């Protein structure tokens, strides 16, 4: 009986959540511009929280971060990147020793396999250099659209938007970019964010989602963009 009522409550909560999200109106261009102006005022040069020392170690760190926290990945990669900073050095290290470094990270077995395969492709096909196009990056095992976007943005300064769980939530909640899939949210963000904010938009939105517009309980009372946000169930 208890399990039955818990499941009804859960069902009701997700229905209400879905209803509230579906009824959020789209944020207009002027408000989107002001949203980023305020985030920029607070943090003019936002940075990601993953540790890396060059484009190659960034590819490895982002690939390892799938379904893991940046803090957990950094703990493993700090000593690793003191020894390994190129694809060839990764091949020299080998899969078994790589696993020793990253065994605290979830799914480390399959991630280690992908990192080694990717290092081999980089050595064989790209002379050990990380390519600067999405098409080539996505040829690497363990590198999908989101990882490629992070690398293009952080390593090569391209105005890409990598939609992770934080961007997906903030985009939908605020009305800035409503979409059912990460790709839909990405395309809307690219279209709606003024060009002058695009380079850093991904970091501002991640940090806003991680520390203020949190998944379970958004901190609306502390939010600098509360008056611009169209979320119906603000916690104020």
Catalytic residues: 146, 164
Are the C-beta atoms of 73 and 105 separated by less than 8 Å?
yes
Left if phi > 0, otherwise alpha if psi is -120 to 50, otherwise beta: which for 94? Answer: left
3-state SS class at 84: coil
Nearer to ligand SF4, 86 or 230 (CB): 230
Nearer to ligand SF4, 83 or 236 (CB): 236
Summarize as ranges the residues that interact with ligand SF4 (CB under 6 A): 173-174, 212-213, 218-220, 223, 225-226, 229, 231, 234
Q: What end-to-end distance do the CA atoms of the chain give, in Å? A: 35
Nearer to ligand SF4, 81 or 204 (CB): 204
Q: How far is the CB of 170 from ligand SF4 (least distance, A)?
A: 6
Q: Which two tokens stand for residue 115?
A: 């990192």
Are the C-beta atoms of 213 and 176 separated by less than 8 Å?
no
Nearer to ligand SF4, 5 or 25 (CB): 25
Query: Of 120, 122, 231, 126, nearest to 172 (Cα)?
Result: 231
Q: How far is the CB of 210 from ligand SF4 (least distance, A)?
A: 12
| Ranges assigned E (strand) in 58-215 | none
Q: How far is the CB of 235 from ligand SF4 (least distance, A)?
A: 7
Backbone φ and ψ for 42, nearest 5 degrees, come out as -75, -35
Compute the residue count for the chain: 236
């Amino acid at each position: 009986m208890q399990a039955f009522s818990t499941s009804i409550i859960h069902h009701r909560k997700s229905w209400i959540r879905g209803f509230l999200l579906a009824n959020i109106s789209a944020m207009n261009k002027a408000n989107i511009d002001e949203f980023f102006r305020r985030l920029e005022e607070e943090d003019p040069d936002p940075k990601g929280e993953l540790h890396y020392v060059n484009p190659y170690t960034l590819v490895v760190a982002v690939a390892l971060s799938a379904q893991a926290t940046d803090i957990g990945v950094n703990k493993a990669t700090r000593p690793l990147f003191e020894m390994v900073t190129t694809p060839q050095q990764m091949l020299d290290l080998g899969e078994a020793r790589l696993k020793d470094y990253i065994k605290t990270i979830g799914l480390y077995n399959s991630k280690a396999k992908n990192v080694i395969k990717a290092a081999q492709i980089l050595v064989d096909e790209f002379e050990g250099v990380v390519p600067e196009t999405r098409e080539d990056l996505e040829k690497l095992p363990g590198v999908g659209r989101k990882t490629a976007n992070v690398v293009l943005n952080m390593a090569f300064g391209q105005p890409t938007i990598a939609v992770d769980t934080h961007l997906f939530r903030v985009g939908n909640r605020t009305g800035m970019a409503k979409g059912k899939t990460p790709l839909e949210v990405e395309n809307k963000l690219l279209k709606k964010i003024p060009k002058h904010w695009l380079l850093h938009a991904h970091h501002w939105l991640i940090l806003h989602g991680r520390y203020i517009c949190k998944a379970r309980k958004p901190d609306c009372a502390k939010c600098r963009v509360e008056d611009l946000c169209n979320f119906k169930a603000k916690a104020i």
